[in-house]
Amino acid sequence: MHILILGMTESGKSNAGKVLIETMRKRGIKSIVLDPLKDPSFNADFQTDNPDHFINVVFGDARKCLVIVDESGEAIGRYNTTMNQLATRGRHWGHTCVFICQKAVQIAPIIRDQCGAVFMFCSGKPSGKMIGEEFNSDKFLDCTKLRRGEYLYKTRFSDIVEGNVFDDLKSVGLYRK
C-alpha cells in the first residue's frame, strides 16, 4: 500500500518517514530514499538526491522495498511522468511508496489516488479539505489544530487514528530530547 505524508515544515513528516524505515527494517525490508536535502538521519539502505539514479535503483534489481520520496512536490513537479510511474507501477516490483510533501495540491491526483493511506500532520485548510474528501473523513479538517509531531492516520477503509510521531520515534529508539 502506498502512503501519502502531508504537513507544514517542521510538523513531523520526515520523522514519520524515518519511523517507517526503522519499522520496515525490523521486518527485513530495505529502504530506498530520494531526498534533495541528503539528510543522513534517514538511515536508509540506499539514499540519493539524484532522481535519475533513484529511479534506476527502484526499477532495477530492487524488489519489495520501502521507497520514500521526500519533498515530493519538488520531485513530482520536475519528474511527473517518472513519479506517476512510481505510484502506478511500484507495486509491481513489490514496493511500498511513500510520498512526503507539504500540501496535498503538490501531489497529482493520479498519485494521491494510488495511496491507500495518509499521515496528515499540521496543514492548511485546503489540504485538510482535499484529503478529507478523498479519504471520506471530515476529521481531516482538524489538521489545522495539530501540534508539532501530532498526526491523523487513515487508510481508505479504516477509521482515523491519532498519534504523535515523536512518541513513535521513542518506541523504536530513534528520538531523544
Q: State the CATH number of the domain containing residue 28.
A: 3.40.50.300
Polymer length in residues for the chain: 177
Domain membership of residue 142 (yes or no) is yes
Do 118 and 135 form a contact (C-beta atoms < 8 A)? yes
14: in domain: yes
Residue 136 in any domain: the answer is yes
Q: Quick check: is 112 in a domain?
A: yes
Q: Is residue 135 part of a domain?
A: yes
Q: Is 150 helix (H, G, I), strand (E, B) or coil?
A: strand
162: how many CB neighbours lie within 10 A of its CB?
A: 11
- 14-53 per-position pLDDT tens digit: 999 999 999 999 999 999 999 988 898 999 999 999 988 9
* Model pLDDT, residue 119: 96
Rounded to two decimals, what is the model's pTM?
0.91
Q: Is residue 174 part of a domain?
A: no
* Choice between 14 and 174, residue whose per-residue pLDDT is larger: 14
| 90: in domain | yes
Q: Which domain holds residue 118?
A: 2-169
Q: Is residue 175 part of a domain?
A: no
Spatial distance between the Cα atoms of 50 and 52, rounded to a whole number of angstroms: 6
Instruction: Tell me what pLDDT residue 79 has.
Output: 65
Nearest CA to 98 among 10, 7, 17?
17
Tally the domains of the chain: 1
77-93 pLDDT per residue, tens = 666 777 888 899 899 99
Mean pLDDT score of the chain: 89
